[in-house]
Structure 1
Amino acid sequence: MITGEIKSQIDAIWNTFWTGGISNTITIVEQLTYLIFIKDLDETETRNERMAKRLDKEFTPIFGPDQQDFRWKNLKEIDVQARHSIFTNSVDGIFPFIRSLGSEKSLFSTYMKDASFGINKAATLDQVMEKLERLDMSNQDIKGDIYEYLLSKLEGGGTAGQFRTPRHIIKLMVEMMQPKLEDTICDPSAGTAGFLVAAKEYIDKHYDITELDRNKEHINKHMFNGTEFDATMLRIASMNLFLHGVEEPNIVDVDAVSKDNEVSDAYTLVLANPPFKGTIDKESIAPGLSNVTKTTKTELLFLALMLRQLKKGGRAAAIVPDGVLFGSGKAFKSIRSEIVNNHKLEAVISLPSGVFKPYSGVSTAILIFTKTDNGGTDHVWFYDMKADGKSLDDKRNLLVDEEAFNNFAFSKALTQEELDALAKDHDKFNLPQILDQYHYLKSDYWGKMHTQEGELLHVNDIPKNLGFDHFMESTCTHNYADRTSQSFLVPIEEIKENDWDLSINRYKEIVYEGNS
């Protein structure tokens, strides 16, 4: 959660660039990202040194004996002018070193080959480093928030309908999809690689070091994939993944929905928040996508792209603008019928319109589906998220306990007391319930307590057999046929009758409290 104090610190750094004669927003973001990257490399090295010492095992250092001056902790101590020379030295300075990271032919090294130092005054570098040093980035979430805030300065947070996805929404989607070590994951609109980084963090938390080591090659070279055609974002995404332990992330420089992107049947999991308002020249669109939905609207083309790029049995969680759910045009209906009729649509989670504030008040939803090529949709789960744990105004203040907000995903590890507290805070924070109910609906316990339509059965069995020790009690006893609740099931026949409409308001029943 980014605080006013951190914002002030970043704004102060921003002003230092301005007074140093650097006013281009992209240049500032890129130069700051390089410095954060250099600082992070040193912190990663220090962590690895400590762990190697504690476990008494070898590790491959990032910095060689001749590169110790490039470590942040040492750079801080060097004379201002001498330090600036280390940054500007184009032969054996710090930037040639950064460009050499990753293997010679890796995409990381390809994108970093254009990385160059752009702070001309030694005093400006000195002041920026001093201010960065005071910025506490030890917590990964805070580091993510700092990135978000920095990137929000690029044209007010989004271009061509691209809005930075809040980290807790990314985390919710990743936790729902539960990435596995054998997955090959893609974000076709990678941006700063937020979804891919969150998937890597999930993998790191859920597997032990031995398993991670065994799959090192897959993790480093094949697991994390994406497309992004903005050169700055390519570098930022590559650095972001590199700092999270992915040595050769496969982020490709291509317009995802164009003819140049030929990837198909390649991924087992797609996580994305594609651009909402973009359009693409009709002649440039990849032919296969037009067969699914004849349109130039990127929000529809990206869904068709996900279906093409997924392997059979592959799953997707994607954020879409509300218009995709109920648009009456032919292209809108054809993409919805494709997903519902020819594949398996599992869930539609409606998000409150304040989720993307202060950058946009757009209403959105999360679609979760599996590529089957032969249908499989029976009942679609709808959830009406009303509260995401933060105020839905421009301030986006945290409304619940910070620890609960950050740890909601680990409800299985929480005490009964903590679970009760989450339940008590439900009106302000729906995410724990969404996660719990989604996993329950997909578990072996579903069907022991409920009919296929979601009505409660009368069951004589012990709570343990019914899942009460795996899920929140309210999850096991909820009536999923109740259309007046936040969470209910809708059969495919009804969706078909309604022209494949997927907006929650089409199916939700409103209770009017009149005078009796």
Structure 2
Amino acid sequence: MTDTLNQAPEGESRETAAHTRSLVDRLWSYCDVLRDAGVPAIDYVEQLTYLLFLKMMDEQEKKNARRGKPHRVLPLGIDWDTLAGKKGEDLKEYYEHVLEVLGERPGMFRLIFLGAQNKIQATGLLERLIKDLIGKIQWSKEGVDVKGDAYEELLARSASDVKSGAGQYFTPRPLIRAMVDCVRPTPEDTIVDPACGTGGFLLAANEYLRREYPAESLDPDLRNRLSRGHAFHGIELVRSTARLAAMNMLTHGVVPSENQEVIEVGDALLAEPKVRASVVLANPPFGQKSAITVIGDDKKAVKDEAVYASRDFWVTTKNKQLNFLQHIAKLLKIDGRAAVVLPDNVLFEGGAGETIRRRLLKEYDVHTLLRLPTGIFYAGGVKANVLFFERRRPSETPWTSQLWVYDFRTGENFTLKQRPLRREHLQDFVDSYLPGKPHDERVATDRFRPFTYEELIAREKVNLDISWPRDGSGGETAPRTPEEIAHSIAADLRAALTQIEAIAAALGHGAEGEQPPFAESS
């Protein structure tokens, strides 16, 4: 996966990176043409997904036949050569027929093609896309890294298309990789993202496992577990985003068994989880109210259109981020570990927020908090954090002994264009975290400081929105641009509004947990 177009991903040669960029540029070259025809960037990537999947499956069939092991993947009457051989309205009609037929197939076909629509109504543009672009590339000859990185870069470019709103499904990949490097998944782990977006966390975990546990070092069962996706499970509410995640996994070499659901379409908060996780990596949606009735252990109910009846939740709230935090905590197996992106309000909000923080600190080992700067998310002005915690067996004494807080916010200025976040910017945090080592070996620094359980509980409302005076070494690294200043002001206003709404909710004058309308997912 790439951070920028000019930087090779970790472990990738410059030649491979250059080939990937060339392929991305070629695929993206059609985006501007289609945008002029009224097709947004995210819809363009979705249309590419349909055609890429069809071409790759067709190539697989032909490869099987050449090896003398014919195995039909596509339904009878559906193949790439027939599609590419048609013109004009005949091409358009056949393409729409293909989408409908494949949407009725089980497994991965259904996930990618159910409800698929042809959004390229100009037959000339559709013909160029099929014949001059997709049809001229032999995808089976491209390595997994090239195909995967190219598709991931397409998603990154579509995320920067502000008008399409695609950025809400795209968590910065350098941040994801740093989180994965800290959590250190293993081939035995079951890795879950309950709000997976385009699959960034699952792919970063897969990338980490491929790097740290080469296939030749694993027994056949573990190799199959990883390549067939049995180690991964993502849930995504929006079907169009889920199909992008499924294709993202496929291009990165995760090919599910026929009835294996690596990506599930649905609301993770509505149903009991199908799998329990030993690792949760997630960036749940920010700031969206849940149109639901929530019923928690406190037996209260806040009513709206649908029902979340979860006896597992500690407390009743309509704040979606707090519900996701409760869900993730309960989703973990004993000794499972989680790294979750959360907005500031989850750290300081009273009422339900305070109750959840108290329970989490007592019943889980909440050991690390990474304070993130603004300017790294596609939604402007977001003030967020990463909370790391582990589930433990029931105990009379609190499991959290110390919460180590890393301030990556003070003195750090990022923008999506002038100074984008890169993985090396987070290396000091990863080094300070000491992945795989006991937390009592950590060393306090100007940016990294521990707070005891007693100190945390004594804070008003168990407020974890912690900062401290910094010496001169933590000052601003560079003059701030007008864009950075605007983002900072917007973030402060959002935080102030959140606090006011929380106070109003506590006084009974507002809907609890209502947040400004911005969102992020992986």
Superposition pairs for residues 84-103 of structure 1, below 5 Å?
Answer: 85=91, 88=94, 95=99
Alpha-carbon distance change, 140 to 43 in structure 1, aligned in 2, over 3 angstroms:
farther
Q: Does 1:204 align with 2:210?
A: yes
Equivalent residue for 2:192, pick from 177, 186, 189: 186
Equivalent residue for 2:354, pick from 330, 333, 342: 333
Counterpart secondary structure, 1:292: coil
Amino acid at match of 1:504: I
Deviation readout 1:143-177 (Å, 9 max, x if unpaired): 32321222443755358xx4520111111111211
Aligned residue in 1 for 2:471 = 511
Equivalent residue for 2:234, pick from 226, 229, 247: 226
Residues of 1 paired with 2:90 and 2:185: CA distance?
43
Alpha-carbon distance change, 138 to 62 in structure 1, aligned in 2, over 3 angstroms:
farther
Residues of 1 paired with 2:54 and 2:109: CA distance?
15
Whether the 8 Å contact between 2:45 and 2:154 is mirrored in structure 1 is no
Residues of 1 paired with 2:68 and 2:381: CA distance?
51
Alpha-carbon distance change, 138 to 158 in structure 1, aligned in 2, over 3 angstroms:
closer
Residues of 1 paired with 2:457 and 2:231: CA distance?
36
Counterpart secondary structure, 1:430: helix
Amino acid at match of 2:452: P
Aligned residue in 1 for 2:400 = 377
Residues of 1 paired with 2:52 and 2:413: CA distance?
30
Q: Which runs of 5+ in 1 are unaligned?
A: 400-404, 409-428, 455-478
Residues of 2 paired with 1:347 and 1:18: CA distance?
43
Q: Does 1:214 align with 2:198?
A: no
Residues of 1 paired with 2:327 and 2:347: CA distance?
17
Equivalent residue for 2:448, pick from 471, 477, 487: 487
Residues of 2 paired with 1:379 and 1:208: CA distance?
35
Q: Does 1:356 align with 2:400?
A: no
Residues of 2 paired with 1:84 and 1:486: CA distance?
63
Residues of 2 paired with 1:119 and 1:69: CA distance?
20
Whether the 8 Å contact between 1:352 and 1:363 is mirrored in structure 2 is yes
Aligned residue in 1 for 2:344 = 322
Amino acid at match of 2:471: V
Whether the 8 Å contact between 1:242 and 1:249 is mirrored in structure 2 is no
Whether the 8 Å contact between 1:152 and 1:164 is mirrored in structure 2 is no
Residues of 2 paired with 1:361 and 1:141: CA distance?
28
Deviation at 1:108, TM superposition (A): 5.1
Alpha-carbon distance change, 64 to 44 in structure 1, aligned in 2, over 3 angstroms:
closer
Aligned residue in 1 for 2:34 = 17
Deviation at 1:138, TM superposition (A): 2.8
Aligned residue in 1 for 2:175 = 169
Aligned residue in 2 for 1:125 = 126
Alpha-carbon distance change, 222 to 387 in structure 1, aligned in 2, over 3 angstroms:
farther
What TM-score, normalized to structure 2? 0.69
Superposition pairs for residues 423-438 of structure 1, below 5 Å?
Answer: 429-438=424-433
Deviation at 1:512, TM superposition (A): 6.6
Aligned residue in 1 for 2:47 = 31
Deviation at 1:81, TM superposition (A): 2.3
Superposition pairs for residues 434-453 of structure 1, below 5 Å?
Answer: 434-439=429-434, 442-443=436-437
Deviation at 1:33, TM superposition (A): 2.7
Deviation at 1:17, TM superposition (A): 2.2
Equivalent residue for 1:288, pick from 291, 307, 310: 310
Q: Which runs of 5+ in 2 are unaligned?
A: 7-20, 294-305, 474-522
Q: Is the deviation greater in 196-205 or in 297-306?
A: 196-205
Counterpart secondary structure, 2:146: coil
Aligned residue in 1 for 2:480 = none
Alpha-carbon distance change, 380 to 45 in structure 1, aligned in 2, over 3 angstroms:
farther
Q: Does 1:269 align with 2:244?
A: no
Deviation readout 1:413-447 (Å, 9 max, x if unpaired): xxxxxxxxxxxxxxxx431222222225x416x65
Alpha-carbon distance change, 97 to 434 in structure 1, aligned in 2, over 3 angstroms:
farther
Alpha-carbon distance change, 271 to 3 in structure 1, aligned in 2, over 3 angstroms:
same
Counterpart secondary structure, 2:340: strand
Residues of 1 paired with 2:51 and 2:410: CA distance?
36
Alpha-carbon distance change, 110 to 323 in structure 1, aligned in 2, over 3 angstroms:
closer
What TM-score, normalized to structure 1? 0.69
Aligned residue in 1 for 2:417 = 395
Aligned residue in 1 for 2:263 = 251
Identity %: 25
Counterpart secondary structure, 1:280: coil
Whether the 8 Å contact between 2:278 and 2:335 is mirrored in structure 1 is yes
Alpha-carbon distance change, 86 to 362 in structure 1, aligned in 2, over 3 angstroms:
closer
Alpha-carbon distance change, 59 to 173 in structure 1, aligned in 2, over 3 angstroms:
farther
Aligned residue in 1 for 2:518 = none
Alpha-carbon distance change, 265 to 292 in structure 1, aligned in 2, over 3 angstroms:
farther
Residues of 2 paired with 1:200 and 1:45: CA distance?
26
Counterpart secondary structure, 2:326: helix
Deviation readout 1:82-128 (Å, 9 max, x if unpaired): 9973982567x5x578658xxx6436535534335443444202433
Whether the 8 Å contact between 2:285 and 2:320 is mirrored in structure 1 is yes
Whether the 8 Å contact between 1:307 and 1:371 is mirrored in structure 2 is yes
Residues of 1 paired with 2:39 and 2:88: CA distance?
25
What is the Cα-based RMSD across aligned positions, in Å? Answer: 4.2
Alpha-carbon distance change, 290 to 69 in structure 1, aligned in 2, over 3 angstroms:
closer
Alpha-carbon distance change, 60 to 337 in structure 1, aligned in 2, over 3 angstroms:
farther
**Highest RCO, 1 vs 2 (Cα 8 Å, sep ≥ 6):** 2
Counterpart secondary structure, 1:353: coil
Alpha-carbon distance change, 69 to 254 in structure 1, aligned in 2, over 3 angstroms:
closer
Superposition pairs for residues 32-47 of structure 1, below 5 Å?
Answer: 32-38=48-54
Deviation at 1:206, TM superposition (A): 2.3
Residues of 2 paired with 1:253 and 1:379: CA distance?
37
Counterpart secondary structure, 1:215: helix
